[in-house]
């Protein structure tokens, strides 16, 4: 199909699909960051774990 359209295959990308709960997690991270402005990612991750989220350290 790419040959017919005259496009390289590398220009065709899949649409990224995030997890269903990603938006709610992002809202919780933003709320924690506003509430505890000086906390780093490790402490915010600990707060997320305490709130019941299952996240890794890169959240």
Cβ contact 26:18 at 8 Å? no
pLDDT of residue 56: 85
What residues contact residue 57 under an 8 Å CB cut-off, 6+ apart?
41, 42, 45
pLDDT value for 21:
87
- pLDDT tens, the chain, 59 aa long: 778 888 888 888 887 777 788 899 999 999 999 999 999 999 999 999 999 999 987 75
């Amino acid at each position: 199909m790419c040959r017919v359209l005259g496009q390289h295959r590398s220009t065709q990308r899949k649409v990224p699909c995030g997890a269903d709960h990603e938006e709610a997690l992002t809202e919780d991270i933003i709320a924690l960051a506003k509430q505890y402005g000086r906390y780093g990612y490790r402490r915010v991750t600990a707060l997320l774990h305490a709130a019941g989220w299952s996240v890794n350290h890169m959240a």
